[in-house]
């Protein structure tokens, strides 16, 4: 189902369920969890010392009302009327 770095389900079913789950292992899975998106929208980063990805959005305009959308196949902020 998922390919988390630490598979806690396997730890529990291995018979070693009395073994504590480390905070570092939990943080590693948290950093690994990511939005499923085209790689061109993702940027490598780190979170709590672990490799991670972040969504690379176009800069947010400083004035006006905008929605995030795609126009002509390009992700961008599109001007809209205030609701």
Classified as helix, coil or strand, 67 is strand
Confidence at residue 16, expressed as pLDDT on a 0 to 100 scale: 63
Determine contact, residues 46/64, Cβ cutoff 8 Å: no
Nearest in space to 26 (alpha carbons), one of 11, 5, 53, 9: 5
pTM: 0.47
45-78 pLDDT per residue, tens? 998 788 888 888 899 999 999 999 988 888 899 9
Q: Output the CA torsion sign for 64, 65, 70, 76.
A: positive
């Amino acid at each position: 189902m998922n390919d988390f770095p630490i598979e806690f389900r396997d730890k529990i079913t291995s018979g070693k369920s009395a073994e504590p789950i480390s905070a570092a292992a939990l943080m590693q899975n948290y950093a690994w969890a990511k939005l499923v998106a085209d790689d061109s929208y993702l940027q490598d980063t780190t979170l709590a010392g672990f490799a991670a990805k972040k969504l690379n959005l176009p800069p947010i305009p400083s004035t006006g009302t905008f929605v995030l959308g795609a126009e002509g196949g390009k992700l961008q902020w599109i001007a809209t009327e205030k609701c």
